Structure 1
Amino acid sequence: MKEIQWEDLKHLIKDGDVVAVSALTVSNLPAEILRNVLETYDETSSPKGLTFINANDISSMGMEPELDDFVERGMLSRIIMSIMTASPKTAQAITNNEIEAYFLPQGVIATHYRQTNSILPGVITKIGLNTTIDPRYKGGRTNTKTTEQLVSFLDIEGEDYLHYQLPPVNVALLRGTYADRQGNIYMTQEAHLGEGYSIALNAKSTRGTVVVQVKAIIDSQHLNPDDVFIPGALVDYIYVAGDSKHHRQLIQTHYHPIFSGEERTTERLDAPLPFNTRKIILRRAAQFLNQGDTISIGFGINNELSNLLHEENVEHQVQPVQDIGIFGGFIGSGKRFGMNANYDVRMRHDLTWDFIYNGGISVAYLSFAEIDQHGNVNVSYFGNRMNGCGGFIDISQSVQRIIFSGSLVARSQLNIKESQLEVVKEGTTQKFIPEVNNIDFNASYAKTLNQEVFIVTDRAVFELRDAGLTIIEIAPGLNLEKDVLDQMGFKPLIAEDLKTMDHTMYQEQWGLLAQSIH
């Protein structure tokens, strides 16, 4: 291990290199190193033609280097990610066919590093079959400029599989809290652990370079060897950040021990959710919970489920899990996304996907952008937005019970009055449409997996049955024809025993969720 200075960083990344990071927003982002890379390009017009790999999204609200900073300079020729939520210039460049881009399942990207080397052939898995990732569909490719197949179809003894072969990492740009004199990396003050260890493995397996940004180099006698995250044998260079503001724990804070699990808090992080239809959706969705469930908490509306569980005093009966490796505790939502506290387990990102793939999750709470008459779901592309699938495909194909949550019609105005729902102003965009043009969840394939699938909206609850998508409940106060069926692009089946949604949920103070959890 060698400590490297700012000036020396300029010579590490070459034109055409494959660069990998392990970050979510600013968490684990080696921001000062990335600033150096940008400045080097501004001075020398190099490095360029880079391939950028990240399992997550590195948007930072402009506080730190973002994907757009590299794309607008023309430094990237290809990106491989799972999700992209706040990079408008990158989305436009993809739309304009200016760069190659792949959206692949988050878990596959996070785990592929340790499965792609001279001994192992890459990831061979069923994850992605019959979705936009399958090469018989789009192969995860986002535009016509993206021609190389990173995903191929395999038949192994009569079983269908996908084979993912991602390029080897030339330069790994990683982050830890501290390094010791042997180059061992510790993640003591980080909000989550990430997959940096596996990225370092991948780089070393092909004689790549591993650079880790830390706050300081300290004597190992003050550290616990059990806390080593990346052994020094995998680390080529340590870069000590010169300015702590470029080593943020989270977007919301530079560092607080609560969010790295070093301390616990008795204070509630988020205020209770406001009483509105969004809260009604979460209440109804939560009624599908069973005692002891491990819950996959997805991005979007379901990120607020942990808040509801605490409000209803049932958080001890189930365990929420975020795929970044946070188990239990309070999962921050909204502007506090990523601010997780009092959690039970903090696990490596890639190991968390091992947990998910092996049946560790009993129920998945997922959002949706569009649903069609067959029950297929699109989350990646809608309107002018290009999000990618994130961990949606990995999770939805690894669990037996799925609850999709969202509004029936986008931008409608609904009101709760006297324990009933009324439509004040109809929405502008239907979310239930005849055919989705991008399949992230394949309903027919889900039936072969014997999955239980429910869709909870503000106006009705649906179940995916063998006969098709079926309305099983309607919100109190609504007219089935006018307020539900007329607002859909197709006519679903209607259960013979169509029920009214639990009217007790339509009051500000509820407190009855515990009665639903058995």
Structure 2
Amino acid sequence: MRIISFSDLKNIVNKGDVIALAALSTANLPAEILKTLVDYNDEDASFTDFTIMLANDISDYRGDSYDLDSLTTRGMIKRLITSIITGSPETINAMRNNEIEAYYLPQGVIATHYRSKTNASPGIISKIGLHTNVDPRYTGGKVNERTTENLVSLIDINNETYLQYHFPDIDIALLRGTYADMDGNIYMTHEAHLGEGYSLALAAHNNNGKVIVQVKAIVQNGNFNPNDVFIPGKLVDYIVVNTNPKLHRQVMQTQYDPALSGHYQITAMREPYIELGTRKVILRRAAQFLCEGDVISIGFGINNELSNVLLEEHANHLVQPNIDTGVFGGWISSREHFGMNYNLSARMRHDMTWDFIYNNGLDVAYLSFAEVDPMGNVNVSKFGDKMNGCGGFIDISQTVKTIVFSGSMVVGGQLSYTSNNVTVEAQGRTSKFVNKIDSIDFNAAHAMTLGQEVYFVTERAVFELTHKGLKLIEIAPGLDLEVDILENMAFKPIIADNIKVMNSDIYCEQWGGLSQAIKSEHRI
């Protein structure tokens, strides 16, 4: 291990390198390393043709740091391998315009493949991704026409079909910790998420690549408990010490909050409760599918606010929320507080969390949807002008027992909620229930073979997945089935013989009935 200056990086990183990061937004992002690469490339365009691999999107959102777009706009990226992009618009444009090669592959597969890439292993062989857009019988995860190399192939083992993922070897691992000691051991003391940096360091080391870690400071040996070492010094080649605090933020909203790294617990949520409206009533109905003791996956999008509803209803202690970044329990924030998670019961490495998910650790997954077809197939990754990617959606939706998809039925609809009743003021402009979806991220027929229970919750109606397709099982009080539901769908679903009316209390300003619903013996 050597402690080096940032200027030394120009002699370590080379044109065409495969570079991998283990960050989420600004959390764990070695932003000053990225700044250095950008600065040297601005001088002589020498840092180009990179393959960038990362499980999550990296973006500073604030516009005063360095991230994926900083590399993309300078033509430094040749190929991108990731699962999701939500905060890098210039990178999305480059993908859309065929300026870079790009793949969207399952987040859990990316995060866990690093430790599978050994001389004694064939790499990742998994059923995750079968019968979805990742399957080579569809697109193999390729995002655009410029992307031609196959990173996913089919393989048969004992008469069963699997996907084999072919990831490139890592030349450079760009990682971040809080402290390093004189032996190069890395500590994550002030970090909000642990990430998959340990496994990534292993993969780079195995390939004779270089592991470069950005830290806040160097500490003397013995200052910390050896049990707290996140990456042992044997795996670390170079350490750089941060010189600009804004390039080492804990999360995008703050430089450092000790509550986010588990050093103390807060007594009140840092964000207000959701106001009564479409998002709130959807989440209230979706939460009624919970049973006491459930471990639940909180997906990206509307479901980020599920924890908010659980807290307001004093029901958060009845279940344990999980975010695939490694967050267990506690208070999961949303909106402008997204990524700020407090009072955790446990915190694990990103890749270890996927082990938990793959091994039947979850009871219920709360996921979003962008498009749904008559059979119940779901698209979340590519719709309209959006190219978000699948994130961990595919991994989770193919491993959990029960799935609750949540979202509004129509884009742009205007509804009012008064007197325990729902009134449609404006029907909206675009239905999410379409005849054909642009990308299959959830395959309904495959879900049926796995024996999963699947529901779709909207503000107007609830649907259940059956072997014959979507079945309408509930309607909101006050709505007309034909005008307010069926005319806003491109297809006619199966209609239950006895359509229930959704609990009118969830449309009131104050509810208070969630705890009782969760304590019931059945998902309702």
Task: State the TM-score, normalized to the length of structure 2.
Answer: 0.98
The Cα of 1:435 is off from its aligned counterpart by: 0.9
* Cα pair 1:121 1:165 within 8 Å, conserved: no
Contact 2:54–2:82 (8 Å) recurs in 1: yes
Cα offset for 1:271?
A: 1.0
The C-alpha deviation readout for 1:129-185, integer Å capped at 9, x for no partner, is: 000000000000001111111110111111111001100110000000000000000
Matches of 1:319 and 1:493, distance apart in 2: 34
Corresponding residue of 1:24: 24
- Write out aligned runs for 1:446-461 (5 A): 446-461=447-462
Which residue of the partner structure matches residue 235 of structure 2?
234
Aligned mates of 1:311, 1:218 — CA distance in 2: 43
Mapping of residues 96-135 of structure 1, within 5 Å = 96-135=97-136
Which whole-Å CA distance do the structure 1 matches of 2:418 and 2:513 have between them? 19
Q: Does the 8 Å CA contact 1:116/1:165 hold for their aligned counterparts?
A: no
Q: Distance in 2 between matches of 1:14 and 1:394?
A: 33
Deviation at 1:316, TM superposition (A): 1.0
Unmatched segments (≥5 aa) in structure 2: 520-524
Query: Which residue is equivalent to 1:34?
Result: 34
In structure 1, what is the Cα distance between the partners aligned to 2:385 and 2:219?
48
Rounded Cα–Cα distance in structure 2 between residues aligned with 1:416 and 1:373: 28
Q: Which residue of 2 aligns with 1:505?
A: 506
Shift of 1:202: 0.3
- Structural RMSD (CA): 0.8
Aligned to 1:52: 52
Q: Aligned equivalents of 1:151 and 1:371: distance in 2?
A: 25
Partner of 2:522: none
Residue equivalent to 2:374: 373
Partner of 1:84: 85
Residue 431 (1) aligns with residue 432 (2): yes
CA distance in 2, matches of 1:277, 1:145: 40
Paired with 1:434 and 1:293, the residues of 2 have a C-alpha distance of 34
1:18 touches 1:53 (CA, 8 Å); kept in 2? yes
Equivalent runs, 1:14-413 vs 2, <5 Å: 14-61=14-61, 62-413=63-414
Cα offset, 1:466, TM superposition: 2.0
5+ residue gaps, structure 1: none
Write the deviation string for residues 75-120 of structure 1: whole angstroms up to 9, x where unpaired: 1100000000022221111111111000000000000001112221
- Shift of residue 428, structure 1, vs aligned partner: 1.1
Equivalent residue for 1:475?
476
Q: What residue identity is the alignment partner of 2:376?
A: G
Please state how far the C-alpha of 1:395 moved relative to its aligned partner: 0.2
- Contact kept in structure 1, 2:128 and 2:163, CA below 8 Å: yes
CA shift, 1:63, in A, is 2.8
Are 2:154 and 2:164, in contact at CA under 8 Å, matched by a contact in 1? yes
Q: 2: CA distance between counterparts of 1:426 and 1:502?
A: 22
Contact preservation (8 Å) 1:131, 1:442: yes
SS of alignment partner, residue 227 of structure 2: helix
Matched AA of 1:108: V
Q: Is the 8 A contact 1:91 1:386 kept in 2?
A: yes
Q: 8 Å contact 1:101–1:146 — kept in the other structure? A: yes
Q: Sequence identity of aligned pairs in percent?
A: 58
Supply the AA of the counterpart residue of 2:435. P
- Partner of 1:142: helix, strand, or coil? coil
Q: Contact 1:377 / 1:440 at 8 angstroms: preserved in 2? A: yes
Distance 1:332 1:24 in 2: 15
- Rounded to whole Å, the distance in 2 between the matches of 1:468 and 1:200 is 45
SS at match of 2:222: helix
Question: Quick check: 2:65–2:246 contact (8 Å CA) kept in 1?
Answer: no
Counterpart position of 2:444? 443
> C-alpha separation between the residues in 1 aligned to 2:376 and 2:193?
34
Cα shift at 1:11: 1.5
**AA aligned opposite 1:401:** T
Q: Which moved more, 1:251-260 or 1:54-63?
A: 54-63
Show the counterpart of 2:492: 491
Q: Any idea what the Cα deviations from partners look like across 1:212-237, whole Å, max 9, x if unmatched?
A: 00000001221110000000000000
Code of the aligned partner of 1:171: I
What is the CA–CA distance in structure 1 between the aligned matches of 2:32 and 2:188, rounded to whole Å? 17
Structure 2 residue matching 1:385: 3-state secondary structure: coil
SS state of the match for residue 35, structure 1? helix
Secondary structure, counterpart of 2:394 in structure 1: helix
Offset, 1:262? 1.0
Following the alignment from structure 2 to structure 1, what is the Cα–Cα distance between the partners of residues 426 and 26?
39
SS in 1 for 2:342: coil
TM-score normalized by the length of structure 1: 0.99
Query: Deviation string for 1:419-439 (max 9, x for gaps)?
Result: 111111121111000011200
Write the letter of the residue equivalent to 1:343. Answer: L
Q: Name which of structure 1's ranges 29-38 and 410-419 shifts more when overlaid on structure 2.
A: 410-419
Pairwise CA distance, 1:9:
1.2
**What stretches of structure 1 move > 6 A for 4+ residues in a row?**
none
Query: 1:151, 1:165 within 8 Å by CA — same for their partners in 2?
Result: yes
Partner Cα separation in structure 1 for residue 165 and residue 123 of structure 2: 6
Deviations 1:385-424 (A, max 9, x none): 1100000000000101000000000111111121111111
In 1, the alpha carbon distance for the partners of 2:45 and 2:483 equals: 60
Counterpart of 1:414 in structure 2 is: 415
Q: Which amino acid aligns with 1:432?
A: F
State the shift of 1:495 in Å: 0.2
Q: Is the 8 A contact 2:445 2:467 kept in 1?
A: no
How far apart are the structure 1 equivalents of 2:41 and 2:355? 38
